[in-house]
Amino acid sequence: MVSRREFLQAAAAAGAILAGSGLGPLGRVAAQQRLTEESLLAFPSFGNATILHLTDVHAQLKPVYFREPSINLGVGEARGVPPHLTDAEFRSWYKIAAGSADAYALTSEDFVGLAKGYGRMGGMDRIATLIRSIRASRGGDATLLLDGGDTWQGSWTALKTRAADMAEIMTALGVEAMVGHWEFTLGEERVKEIADALPFPFLAQNIRDNEWQEKVFEPRKTFVKGGARIAVIGQAFPRTPIANPRWMIPKWEFGIREEEMQRQVDEARAEGADCVVVLSHNGFDVDRKMASRVKGIDIVLTAHTHDALPDVLKVGNTILVASGSHGKFISRIDIDAGGGRLKGFRHRLIPVFSDAIRPDPEMAALVAKWRGPYEADLGRVLGQTESLLYRRGNFNGTFDDLIAGAMLKERDAEIALTPGFRWGATLLPGDPITFEALANATAMTYPNCYRQQMTGEQLKTILEDVADNIFHPDPYFQGGGDMVRVGGMGYRIDVAKPMGERISEMTHLASGKPIDAARSYVVAGWASVGQGVEGPPIWEVVAGHVAREKTIRLEPNASVKVVAG
Amino acid sequence: MTMTSAGITRRQAIGSAAIAVFAAALAPRLALADEAAVAAELKKLYADKPMTEGRIKLDVPQIAENGLVVPLNVDVESPMTAADHVKAVHVFADGNPLPQILTYRFTPESGKASASIRMRLAQTQTIVCVAEMSDGKLYSAKAGVKVTIGGCGG
Amino acid sequence: MATKSQPRVRVPATAKAGEIVEIKTLISHEMESGQRKDADGKPIPRKIIHAFEASFNGKVFFAATWYPSVSANPYQSFFYKAAETGEFKFTWKDDDGSEYAATAKMTVA
Report, as an integer, the average pLDDT of A360-375: 98
How near does any CA of chain A get to the CA of C106, in Å?
A: 19
Report, as an integer, the average pLDDT of A35-57: 94
- Give the 3-state secondary structure of residue C75: strand
- Decide if pLDDT at C84 tops 50: yes
Q: CA separation (Å) from A386 to A206, A424, A552?
A: 45, 18, 6
Per-residue confidence band for A123, with pLDDT thresholds at 50, 70 and 90: very high
- Decide if pLDDT at B25 tops 50: no
Beta bridge partners of C20: C81
Report the alpha-carbon distance of residue A20 to residue B108 in Å, rounded: 80
Report the alpha-carbon distance of residue A64 to residue A121 in Å, rounded: 5
pLDDT at residue A396, rounded to an integer: 87
- Decide if pLDDT at A11 tops 80: no
- Decide if pLDDT at A163 tops 70: yes
Report, as an integer, the average pLDDT of B75-85: 97
Q: Do A534 and B61 touch (CB under 8 A)?
A: no
Report the alpha-carbon distance of residue B80 to residue B111 in Å, rounded: 6
Could you tell me if A238 and A255 are in contact, meaning their C-beta atoms sit under 8 angstroms apart? yes
Report the alpha-carbon distance of residue A526 to residue A441 in Å, rounded: 12
Interface mutation vs chain B, best among C71, C91, C108, most B CBs within 10 Å: C71
pLDDT at residue A12, rounded to an integer: 39
Q: What is A34-64+120-369's CATH number, 1.20.1250.20, 3.60.21.10, 3.30.930.10, 1.10.10.10? A: 3.60.21.10
- Which residues in chain A are closer than 8 Å to C77, comparing Cβ atoms? 213
Report the alpha-carbon distance of residue A342 to residue A340 in Å, rounded: 7
- Decide if pLDDT at A193 tops 70: yes
- Chain C interface with A: residues with Cβ < 8 Å: 10, 24, 26, 75, 77
The 8-class DSSP code of residue B108 comes to G
Could you tell me if A275 and A230 are in contact, meaning their C-beta atoms sit under 8 angstroms apart? yes
Q: What backbone torsions phi and psi does residue A370 show, to the nearest 5 degrees? A: -75, -30
Helix (H) or strand (E) holding A525: strand A520-525
User: What is the β-pairing status of strands A551-552 and A381-385?
Assistant: parallel
Buried b / exposed e over B23-62, threshold 16 CB at 10 Å, is ebbbeeeeebbeeebbeebbeeeeeeeebeeebbebebbe
Q: Do C66 and B116 touch (CB under 8 A)?
A: no
pLDDT at residue A492, rounded to an integer: 98
pLDDT at residue A89, rounded to an integer: 97
- Decide if pLDDT at A5 tops 50: no
Tell whether A471 lies on the interface with B, counting CB pairs under 8 A: no
CATH topology of domain A380-563: 5'-nucleotidase;  domain 2 (3.90.780)
- Which residues in chain B are closer than 8 Å to A286, comparing Cβ atoms? none
Residues A50-70: pLDDT tens digits? 999 999 999 999 999 999 999
Residues A372-392: pLDDT tens digits? 999 999 999 999 999 999 999
The 8-class DSSP code of residue B83 comes to S
Interface mutation vs chain C, best among A208, A210, A212, most C CBs within 10 Å: A212
Contacts of A372 (CB under 8 A, 6+ apart): none
Report the alpha-carbon distance of residue A172 to residue A400 in Å, rounded: 34
- Give the 3-state secondary structure of residue A267: helix
- In terms of Cβ atoms closer than 10 Å to its own Cβ (0-12, 13-18, 19+), residue B133 is middle
Residues A17-26: pLDDT tens digits? 333 334 433 3
pLDDT at residue B152, rounded to an integer: 54
Residues 177-236 of A with CB under 8 A from C: 211-213
- Which residues in chain B are closer than 8 Å to A412, comparing Cβ atoms? 1, 10-11
Contacts of A217 (CB under 8 A, 6+ apart): A195, A201, A202, A203, A204, A207, A234, A236
What CATH number was assigned to the domain covering residues B31-147?
2.60.40.2470
In sequence order, what DSSP letters do the residues of A162-212 get, joined into one string?
Answer: TTHHHHHHHHHHT--EE--SGGGGG-HHHHHHHHHHSSS-BB-TT-EETTT
Proportion of chain B above pLDDT 70, given as a percent: 77
Contacts of B39 (CB under 8 A, 6+ apart): none
R_g of chain C computed on alpha carbons: 16
Residues 143-172 of A with CB under 8 A from B: 150
Residues 496-525 of A with CB under 8 A from B: 522, 525
Report, as an integer, the average pLDDT of A201-205: 98
Query: What's the whole-number average pLDDT of chain A?
Result: 93
- Which residues in chain A are closer than 8 Å to B18, comparing Cβ atoms? 452-453
Q: Measured between CB atoms, which of A254, A468, A481 is closest to B154? A: A481
Per-residue confidence band for A565, with pLDDT thresholds at 50, 70 and 90: low
pLDDT at residue B84, rounded to an integer: 97
What's the ipTM?
A: 0.94
pLDDT at residue B6, rounded to an integer: 38
Residues A213-226: pLDDT tens digits? 999 999 999 999 99
The domain defined by C7-108 carries CATH number 2.60.40.10: yes
Could you tell me if A231 and A220 are in contact, meaning their C-beta atoms sit under 8 angstroms apart? yes
Report the alpha-carbon distance of residue A63 to residue A355 in Å, rounded: 9
Could you tell me if A113 and A535 are in contact, meaning their C-beta atoms sit under 8 angstroms apart? no
Starting from the edge strand earliest in sequence, which strands make up the sheet with A432-434, in order? A432-434, A381-385, A551-552
Report the alpha-carbon distance of residue A174 to residue A198 in Å, rounded: 11
Q: What backbone torsions phi and psi does residue C21 show, to the nearest 5 degrees? A: -105, 150
Distance of CA A355 to the CA centre of its chain: 22
Which is it for the CA torsion A340, A345, A348, A349, positive or negative? positive
Q: Do B102 and C66 touch (CB under 8 A)?
A: yes
In sequence order, what DSSP letters do the residues of A48-85 get, joined into one string?
Answer: SEEEEEE---TT--S-BB-PPPS-----GGGTTSTTS-
Could you tell me if C52 and C64 are in contact, meaning their C-beta atoms sit under 8 angstroms apart? yes
- Which residues in chain B are closer than 8 Å to C71, comparing Cβ atoms? 68-70, 117-120
Could you tell me if A82 and A309 are in contact, meaning their C-beta atoms sit under 8 angstroms apart? yes
Report the alpha-carbon distance of residue B87 to residue B106 in Å, rounded: 5
Q: Do B108 and C33 touch (CB under 8 A)?
A: no
Report the alpha-carbon distance of residue A454 to residue A148 in Å, rounded: 38
- In terms of Cβ atoms closer than 10 Å to its own Cβ (0-12, 13-18, 19+), residue C32 is middle
Question: What torsion do the CA atoms of B45, B46, B52, B54 make, to the nearest 10 degrees?
Answer: -20
pLDDT at residue A34, rounded to an integer: 66
User: What is the β-pairing status of strands A520-525 and A415-420?
Assistant: parallel
SS3 content of chain C, % helix, strand, coil (to 5): 0, 55, 45
Q: Where are the domains of chain C?
A: 7-108
How near does any CA of chain C get to the CA of B154, in Å?
A: 29
- Decide if pLDDT at B7 tops 70: no
Chains near A (3 or more Cβ pairs under 8 Å): B, C
Residue in A530, A462, A410, A485 with CA at minimum distance from that of residue B17: A530
CB atoms within 10 A of CB A549: 18
Residue in A155, A536, A550 with CA at minimum distance from that of residue A375: A155
Q: CA separation (Å) from A101 to A104, A118, A403, A522?
A: 5, 7, 31, 46
Per-residue confidence band for A15, with pLDDT thresholds at 50, 70 and 90: very low
Residues A272-320: pLDDT tens digits? 999 999 999 999 999 999 999 999 999 999 999 999 999 999 999 999 9
- Which residues in chain B are closer than 8 Å to C81, comparing Cβ atoms? 80, 108-111
Residue in B47, B68, B70 with CA at minimum distance from that of residue B59: B70
Could you tell me if A398 and A554 are in contact, meaning their C-beta atoms sit under 8 angstroms apart? yes
Q: What backbone torsions phi and psi does residue A403 show, to the nearest 5 degrees? A: -65, -45
How near does any CA of chain A get to the CA of B116, in Å?
A: 10
SS3 content of chain B, % helix, strand, coil (to 5): 15, 35, 50
Q: Measured between CB atoms, which of B102, B114, B121 is closest to C79? A: B114
- Decide if pLDDT at A14 tops 70: no
- Decide if pLDDT at C1 tops 60: no
Tell whether B42 lies on the interface with C, counting CB pairs under 8 A: no
In sequence order, what DSSP letters do the residues of B125-151 get, joined into one string?
Answer: EEEEEEEEETTS-EEEEEEEEEE----
Residues C25-80: pLDDT tens digits? 999 999 999 988 888 888 899 999 999 999 999 999 999 999 999 999 999 999 99
Report the alpha-carbon distance of residue B79 to residue B86 in Å, rounded: 9
CB atoms within 10 A of CB C47: 17
Interface mutation vs chain A, best among B3, B10, B152, most A CBs within 10 Å: B152
Residues A309-325: pLDDT tens digits? 999 999 999 999 999 99
Could you tell me if C11 and C5 are in contact, meaning their C-beta atoms sit under 8 angstroms apart? no
Interface mutation vs chain A, best among C6, C27, C71, C75, most A CBs within 10 Å: C75
pLDDT at residue A326, rounded to an integer: 98
Report, as an integer, the average pLDDT of A83-100: 96
Residues B44-69: pLDDT tens digits? 999 989 999 999 999 999 999 999 99
Residues A482-515: pLDDT tens digits? 999 999 999 999 999 999 999 999 999 999 999 9
Report the alpha-carbon distance of residue C68 to residue B120 in Å, rounded: 8
The 8-class DSSP code of residue A414 comes to S
Q: Where are the domains of chain A?
A: 34-64+120-369, 380-563
Report the alpha-carbon distance of residue A347 to residue A311 in Å, rounded: 7
Report the alpha-carbon distance of residue B13 to residue B94 in Å, rounded: 39
Contacts of C93 (CB under 8 A, 6+ apart): C49, C50, C51, C52, C99
Q: How many residues does chain C have?
A: 109
Could you tell me if A52 and A131 are in contact, meaning their C-beta atoms sit under 8 angstroms apart? yes
Q: Do C70 and B109 touch (CB under 8 A)?
A: no
Residues C7-29: pLDDT tens digits? 999 999 999 999 999 999 999 99
Tell whether B20 lies on the interface with A, counting CB pairs under 8 A: yes
Q: How many residues does chain A have?
A: 565
Q: Where are the domains of chain B?
A: 31-147
The 8-class DSSP code of residue B55 comes to S
**Residue bearing the bigger pLDDT, B82 or B32:** B82
Angle between helices A124-138 and A361-371 (to 10 degrees): 150
pLDDT at residue A310, rounded to an integer: 97
Q: Do A211 and C75 touch (CB under 8 A)?
A: yes
Tell whether B3 lies on the interface with A, counting CB pairs under 8 A: no
pLDDT at residue A110, rounded to an integer: 96
Query: Which amino acid, B43?
Result: K
